[in-house]
Amino acid sequence: MAIKMRYLYASKKKKIAEIGQFIKAKYELQINSVDVIPPAYSCDKERIVILGLSLKGDMPDGLRLFLRELTKARAANVALVIDGDAASAEKAASILKEAGTNVVGEPLFIKCGLFAGGLKDDEKAAVAAWTEDIVSKLA
């Protein structure tokens, strides 16, 4: 399935980065489709941007500024993968909505421990099902 999609993440946790590589392989995305925030190449007319965020407490200024600049011209739709709590996810979603982009679906919450390894099979299945649901809502 060809869809203009990117996965951008703001986390030092291995599992959040691995989710991006998993989605990239599943949807055969371009080589620069997985990147850290702020990305080396800015978003431009993306059909969907999936953001992998580790949020706890106050949001870093750089991340907040990036979310504010993620307008509909840069990303028509945004979905969230969150390592954190529901309040932080809601705060990120409200910033994105204020910027004018469409927040698609419910956030996917992933538990990332400090010494957690990579994605387990059940987590891969959950990410695959969630991503398919998000993409199907765009069709």
pLDDT for residue 1 is more than 60: no
Cα 80–Cα 85–Cα 91 angle in degrees, nearest 5: 60
Q: pTM for this one?
A: 0.94
Largest CA distance in the chain: 38
- Of 39-43, 74-78, 103-107, the poorest mean pLDDT is in 39-43
pLDDT for residue 109 is more than 60: yes
Q: What local confidence, expressed as pLDDT, does residue 115 receive?
A: 67
Cβ burial, residue 26 (10 Å; 0-12/13-18/19+): middle
pLDDT for residue 104 is more than 90: yes
List, as one string, the DSSP characters of 46-111: BSEEEEEEEE-SSPPHHHHHHHHT--TTTBSEEEEEEEE-HHHHHHHHHHHHHHTPEEPSPPEE--
User: Mean pLDDT over residues 14-34, rounded?
Assistant: 93
Which of 105, 133, 112, 103 has the alpha carbon at shortest distance from 17?
112
pLDDT in tens, 86-102: 999 999 999 999 999 99
Cα 58–Cα 60–Cα 110 angle in degrees, nearest 5: 75
Asked whether the CA dihedral 55, 95, 64, 118 is positive or negative, the reply is: positive
Mean of per-residue pLDDT scores for the chain: 92
User: Mean pLDDT over residues 28-53, rounded?
Assistant: 93
